[in-house]
Chain A
Amino acid sequence: MISEIDRYAGISSPIHRWDPRFRLISIFALIFSVMLLYNLQLIVIGMIFAIILTSISKIPLSFVLSRMKLVFIFVIPFFIIIPFTVIGNGVEIASFGGITLSYRGTESVEFAAMIVLKALTAVMLIFPMIGTSRMDITIKALEGLHLPNKPVQMFAFTYRYIFVLDDEFTRMDRSLASRGFRKRGNLYTLTTISKAIAMLFVKSYERADRVFYAMRSKGYSGTVATLHEFYARRQDWVNTAVVVGFALLLQVAATSDTFSATRGF
């Protein structure tokens, strides 16, 4: 079963009580700001802020870390590759048939660390950003922000049907297992699984058709409208000022001489 990012939407915290429209924009700005940084100290400061936000949101750290594990596995190769490939001329270590392995100094290690930390910070901020309200509310907030209707619809449908697809795949998996299929590391396993996935695509395509028919039968003509009501309070503005202010501060600091930029190019 796909675990839901909004599993801890039901608890109460200052982040949970924050108007989702303001929360989305503010934390998105913060993610952007951290992404634009090229100074390790500032990125670490950004990360600490992200950790503070996540802990204020009361989402259990174990939940956050277990999700971040995957991202970590994905970004760690950068940490291994970059110091031997990017920035300047390094010290040659070894050469295999035209490919030279060379160590390129502490600056490149710092650069690799920045990429890894930025990725982790961004992913961590996703949790206070969308993990603190039910997905439907988040989608309504996106509508409330007057984002273009089509991408919001795509997002909403992806979220709605990912569970249906997951159920369908689980059923298929069980039906394979109940007919003696065992997953092994061989070609037969691969072809079977890929056929099952192909079938899932065909089924999804057909379902998409039927959903579209159902929508049209209910008068759909291009835009999805819902009834939603958000009321901003003073506290929402205060929270926004703090987070967006911090995001701006990072950018201001980045332009000062104290925090010099390290770019890989």
Chain B
Amino acid sequence: MVAIRVHDLNYAYSDGTVALEHVSFEIARGESVALIGPNGAGKSTLLLHLNGILHSKKSRGAVEILGEPIDPRKVHKMPKKIGIVFQDPDDMLFMPLLGDDVAFGPINLGVANDEVKRRVKDSLERVGLAGYEERVSHHLSGGEKKRAAIATVLSMDPEIIAMDEPTANLDPKSRAELIEILKGLKSEGKTLIIITHDVNAIPELADRVIVLHKTIVADGTTREVFADTEMLVAAGLDVPTIMQFFEVLQAFGYPCDVLPLSIEDAVRNLTRTIENGDGHVHLHIHKHTHSGVDSARSKYQHHSG
């Protein structure tokens, strides 16, 4: 079943700047999709169309969630289906206490009091903030706020969760914890759509990548999209560092048809290559090595000089 269907979505800001142009895609239930694109590409704007917060004459009927077109007058009924985690947690944590923030959504959805309490406890536990009900949000750290913002959406138990840069501005540990939370949601079968600039996290989180630059530039499996380096670099984007490194290794003679996307991939790849090579990897420098390394490296260079 289709979770999100966007068909020919167009949107322009009030000053006339075009934000989205002929955007069309479909996301199946249980799929986990990374939405990437340069700054100002319209990613956050697209996200706000998914529950009808942003809408215009041109967008009427363009977005369907779980088979139903969005009615902008019924935005308050959307969280049952789709929850959005905003980029800045300070926008999401507006109640006096964290527990109230997490309870806010389910109360609005008319969930019974006892069930609200259970969901608050459960959601905070799932993001590793068990017992934070009585905390005041302006005293939380950045990483805690990000996780708290996710808890406020989890408590509504939506089928689809859309997130705007969940791993941005986090320290490595908080980032790793957040990725674990997202992986957990993915394995629970939630439909995820994640805006991110964190290309190294994508292979772990998403099966599919959509590149947006006002319109859809590319849409395919993570591997397919990352294989199109030219398109990514033209859009001002990157591929995972480990991919770039293995491309350099290829110039040194490392036999590798499919570049690994993640460290796990790389470990598997190396193990296989070493086993096939009777316990060794052969790297060498020949007359084309340096030009090979240079060309591999220049592929990902964004500056023109």
Chain A residues with CB under 8 Å of chain B are 134-136, 139-140, 156-157, 159-161, 163-164, 207, 210-211, 213-221, 224-227
- Besides A213-B53, A219-B108, A224-B95, 8 other CB < 8 A contacts? A211-B94, A214-B91, A214-B92, A217-B53, A217-B78, A217-B83, A218-B108, A220-B108
Q: Given the complex, which residues of A lie within 8 Å of B97, measured CB to CB?
A: 136
The interface residues of chain A, by DSSP majority, are classed as helix
A160 touches B92 (CB 8 A): no
Q: Given the complex, which residues of A lie within 8 Å of B104, measured CB to CB?
A: 215, 218-220, 224, 226
Q: Given the complex, which residues of A lie within 8 Å of B94, measured CB to CB?
A: 157, 160-161, 211, 214-215
Q: Given the complex, which residues of A lie within 8 Å of B48, measured CB to CB?
A: 213
Within 8 Å by CB of B113, from A134, A220, A227, lies A227
A156 touches B95 (CB 8 A): yes
A226 touches B156 (CB 8 A): no
Q: Given the complex, which residues of B lie within 8 Å of A216, measured CB to CB?
A: 53, 75-76
Q: How far is the CA of A220 from the CA of B77 in the complex (A)?
A: 9
Within 8 Å by CB of A226, from B51, B91, B103, B136, lies B103
Within 8 Å by CB of A136, from B77, B90, B96, B113, lies B96
For B111-131 the 0/1 string (1 means CB < 8 A from A) is: 001001100000000000000
Q: Given the complex, which residues of A lie within 8 Å of B92, measured CB to CB?
A: 214, 218
Question: Chain A residue with minimal CB distance to B98?
Answer: A136
CB of B199 within 8 Å of the partner chain: no
Chain B interface extent, by class: 35 or more
Q: Given the complex, which residues of A lie within 8 Å of B152, measured CB to CB?
A: 218
Taking each of B78, B84, B90, which has the highest tally of chain A beta carbons within 10 Å of its own beta carbon? B90
For B74-88 the 0/1 string (1 means CB < 8 A from A) is: 011111000110101
Within 8 Å by CB of B86, from A160, A163, A164, A210, lies A210
Taking each of B91, B107, B113, which has the highest tally of chain A beta carbons within 10 Å of its own beta carbon? B91
Q: How far is the CA of A226 from the CA of B97 in the complex (A)?
A: 10
Q: Given the complex, which residues of B lie within 8 Å of A218, measured CB to CB?
A: 79, 83, 92, 104-105, 108, 152-153, 156
CB of B290 within 8 Å of the partner chain: no
B86 touches A226 (CB 8 A): no
Within 8 Å by CB of B117, from A157, A221, A227, lies A227
For B39-61 the 0/1 string (1 means CB < 8 A from A) is: 00000000010010100000000
A207 touches B76 (CB 8 A): no
Q: How far is the CA of A225 from the CA of B95 in the complex (A)?
A: 10
Within 8 Å by CB of B51, from A161, A211, A217, A224, lies A217
Q: Given the complex, which residues of A lie within 8 Å of B103, measured CB to CB?
A: 226-227
Minimum C-beta distance from A14 to chain B (A):
23
B76 touches A219 (CB 8 A): yes
Within 8 Å by CB of A139, from B77, B79, B96, B138, lies B96
Which B residues from 26 to 73 make CB contacts under 8 A with A?
A: 48, 51, 53
Q: List 9 A-B contacts (CB under 8 A).
A: A136-B95, A136-B100, A164-B138, A211-B94, A218-B83, A218-B108, A219-B104, A219-B105, A221-B76
A211 touches B108 (CB 8 A): no
Q: How far is the CA of A79 from the CA of B153 in the complex (A)?
A: 56
Minimum C-beta distance from A166 to chain B (A):
10
CB of B109 within 8 Å of the partner chain: yes
Q: How far is the CA of A172 from the CA of B138 in the complex (A)?
A: 18
B77 touches A226 (CB 8 A): no
Q: How far is the CA of A214 from the CA of B91 in the complex (A)?
A: 7
Q: How far is the CA of A138 from the CA of B78 in the complex (A)?
A: 31
A220 touches B100 (CB 8 A): no
Minimum C-beta distance from B98 to chain A (A):
10
Within 8 Å by CB of A164, from B53, B90, B100, B113, lies B90
Question: Chain B residue with minimal CB distance to A222?
Answer: B76
Minimum C-beta distance from A70 to chain B (A):
23
A217 touches B84 (CB 8 A): yes
A217-B84, A218-B108, A219-B77 known; A135+B53 contact, CB < 8 A: no
Minimum C-beta distance from B127 to chain A (A):
16
Q: Given the complex, which residues of B lie within 8 Å of A136, measured CB to CB?
A: 95-97, 100, 136
B107 touches A160 (CB 8 A): no
Taking each of A139, A163, A219, A225, which has the highest tally of chain B beta carbons within 10 Å of its own beta carbon? A219
